[in-house]
Amino acid sequence: MLVVAVLGAGPAVAQAPRVPASQAEVKLSFAPIVARTAPAVVNVYALKTAQQRVNPIFDDPFFRRFFGGPGGSPGLGAPDRMQRSLGSGVIVDPSGIVVTNYHVIEGADEIRVALNDKREYEAQVLLRDQRTDLAILRLKLETKETFASLELGNSDELAVGDLVLAIGDPFGVGQTVTQGIVSAVARTQVGVSDYQFFIQTDAAINPGNSGGALVDMAGRLVGINTAIYSRSGGSIGIGFAIPVNMVRVVLDQAKSGGKAVRRPWLGAKLQRVTPDIADSLGLPRPAGALVREVTAGSPAASAGLKVGDLILAVEGQGIEDPESLNYRLATRPIGSRAALGLNRGGRNESVVVVLESAPETPPREAVQLRARSPFGGATIVNLSPAVAEELRVDGAASGVVIAEIADGTPAAQAGFKPGDVIVEVNGEKIARTRELDTLTQAPMRAWRIVVIRGGRAISALLPG
């Protein structure tokens, strides 16, 4: 699986799709669409300083100080080098707001954007969202300028067989346009981001296209190309794009000054419907999201959802699996209502869910652990429904959860990962971050630790 993407720009008038009626129509060109959209396609250069390690001995500050390297004088240590990653992006606002992929700018110390006409600008990150693999940038301008931008379409209007264009910079060769059709409109088993609901296209996209866009025949942005399926690293005609309706959610929150994306929280655990489950429920085929658990006090509980309910639609739009349901809810505004069509005990019913963001109860109370212990370098937060949603952990668990881990720290070397829920240390239950912070202040010869990872409890004995 490789990550990629492409795009174009410009307003246009929607036209009803139809099959060419004559040989003359078959010879028609995409050039007018490209002329309108290409100026809004940009290259995104993400620069990151990386230290070259010649010998692990230079990890020791003592040796760095006397023999050179980072933190010491020039000498035998390895010099820093600049890593550069190349992706694509789309200007979606005339003021210079750009959409690209999160993975294109991840870890960047500096971001530069090159326009279609070779002008270059430094860019700042307005909002980055790893869960959707999207990032919103703003060009840094000394004077007010107006840029060509791409109109956002409606990805729900796409149909399999619709013609689309992909515009980007594959392999860094320069801006390139490819054409294809929509192969599927709701791929949910791609494994690229948390919100598995992708447009599939056979338009050729390759490494370097990431963060660009998919354009319809009206010249509107319908998707941000993000990944390809490939055995060789190049295009074999299976590409995936984030639907523009999801892009719009992240973009709107960035424009409103949000630093993190707030999403509706259902408060229910869902299960995919297998053929065996479909047979047991008397369904004609496997489809829908089966409610396996309902959190007390959640929107799902308030709406009257019950364990065993099979959700089949959101506002009349069919649901194939839990990923489809998550996407449909995530693209609706917080505070709105959503009618869920469901099958309950063989009867078709409907409930209305008020879409709310997950509560931060208890408060995060983030702490970076600095004392000498296996947790050193980890940032921990109290587990709440909001944190559980953000870090993709079981909200029913109790304890504190690791939110971040600094590279090269004891926590990283011990094998901890973001999302690990710490429930017990040396026989003591951990309920709040301050409890673990206090516990790690005292030196220990050994640490007996119980964590929950991926729903499984793991016990470990680590040296002090």
- Residue 206 pLDDT > 90, yes or no? no
Least confident of 112-116, 227-231, 311-315: 227-231
Q: Which two tokens stand for residue 166?
A: 């992909």
**Residue range 269-298, pLDDT digits in tens:** 999 999 999 998 888 999 999 999 999 899
**HEC-encoded secondary structure of 171-236:** HHCCCEEEEEEEEEEEECCCCCCCCCCEEEECCCCCCCCCCCEEECCCCCEEEEEEEECCCCCCCC
Cβ-in-10-Å burial (0-12, 13-18, 19+) of 272 comes to: middle
Q: How far is it, in rounded angstroms, from Cα 315 to Cα 185?
A: 18
pLDDT at 343: 93
Same domain for 244 and 385?
no
Least confident of 112-116, 153-157, 233-237, 454-458: 233-237
pLDDT at 14: 53
Tell me which of 129, 133, 169, 309 is the catalytic residue. Answer: 133
Same domain for 388 and 437?
yes
Average pLDDT for 303-307: 96
Best CA proximity match to 327, nearest among 212, 186, 151, 213: 186
The single residue listed with the structure tokens 């700018």 is: 105
Same domain for 249 and 398?
no
Same domain for 314 and 243?
no
In a domain, 407, yes or no: yes
Same domain for 80 and 218?
yes
66 confidence band (pLDDT: 50, 70, 90): very low
Same domain for 256 and 283?
no
Which helix (H) or strand (E) is 251 found in, with range? helix 244-255
pLDDT at 174: 86
pLDDT at 417: 92
In a domain, 437, yes or no: yes
Indicate which CATH number applies to the domain containing 451.
Answer: 2.30.42.10
Instruction: Calculate the alpha carbon distances from 151 to 222, 225, 431 in Å.
Output: 9, 16, 48
Average pLDDT for 354-364: 92
pLDDT at 172: 81
- Residue 238 pLDDT > 50, yes or no? yes
DSSP class per residue in 73-141:
-SSSSPPEEEEEEEEEEEEEETTTEEEE-HHHHTT-SEEEEE-TTS-EEEEEEEEEETTTTEEEEEE--
pLDDT at 326: 92
- Residue 336 pLDDT > 60, yes or no? yes
In a domain, 319, yes or no: yes
Mapped onto helix, strand or coil, the DSSP state of residue 461 is strand
Domain boundary among 228, 261, 294: 261
Same domain for 302 and 398?
no
Between the two ends of the chain, the Cα-to-Cα distance in Å is: 40
Mapped onto helix, strand or coil, the DSSP state of residue 412 is helix
Same domain for 103 and 248?
yes
Active site residue 210: yes
pLDDT at 60: 43
Cα 241 off chain centre by: 12
In a domain, 362, yes or no: no
pLDDT at 86: 87
In a domain, 151, yes or no: yes
In a domain, 200, yes or no: yes
In a domain, 336, yes or no: yes
Tell me which of 103, 183, 202, 324 is the catalytic residue. Answer: 103
Best CA proximity match to 435, nearest among 425, 450, 445, 449: 425
Q: How far is it, in rounded angstroms, from Cα 220 to Cα 125?
A: 24
Q: Which residue has the higher pLDDT, 193 or 203?
A: 203
Q: How far is it, in rounded angstroms, from Cα 287 to Cα 312?
A: 7
Same domain for 240 and 382?
no
Q: Which residue has the higher pLDDT, 183 or 28?
A: 183
Total domain count, the chain: 3
Domain boundary among 235, 261, 287: 261
Best CA proximity match to 273, nearest among 284, 265, 257: 284
Domain boundary among 357, 380, 403: 357
**HEC-encoded secondary structure of 36-91:** HHHHHEEEEEEEEEEECCCCHHHHCHHHHHHHCCCCCCCCCCCCEEEEEEEEEEEE
- Residue 4 pLDDT > 80, yes or no? no
Average pLDDT, the chain: 86
Give the structural domain span for 316. 264-357
Q: How far is it, in rounded angstroms, from Cα 451 to Cα 435?
A: 15
Same domain for 225 and 275?
no
Residue-level length of the chain: 464
Tell me which of 85, 149, 155, 210 is the catalytic residue. Answer: 210
Residues facing residue 190 across a β-bridge: none
Mapped onto helix, strand or coil, the DSSP state of residue 390 is helix
Active site residue 133: yes
Q: Over the Cα atoms of the chain, what is R_g?
A: 25
Same domain for 307 and 333?
yes
Contact 238, 220 (CB under 8 A): no
**Residue range 250-267, pLDDT digits in tens:** 999 999 998 889 899 999
**Residue range 76-132, pLDDT digits in tens:** 444 555 667 789 999 999 999 999 999 999 989 999 999 999 999 999 999 999 889
pTM for the structure as a whole: 0.80
Q: How far is it, in rounded angstroms, from Cα 170 to Cα 176?
A: 7
Indicate which CATH number applies to the domain containing 243.
Answer: 2.40.10.120
In a domain, 207, yes or no: yes
Q: How far is it, in rounded angstroms, from Cα 113 to Cα 40?
A: 12
Same domain for 424 and 287?
no
Q: Which two tokens stand for residue 436?
A: 């673990």
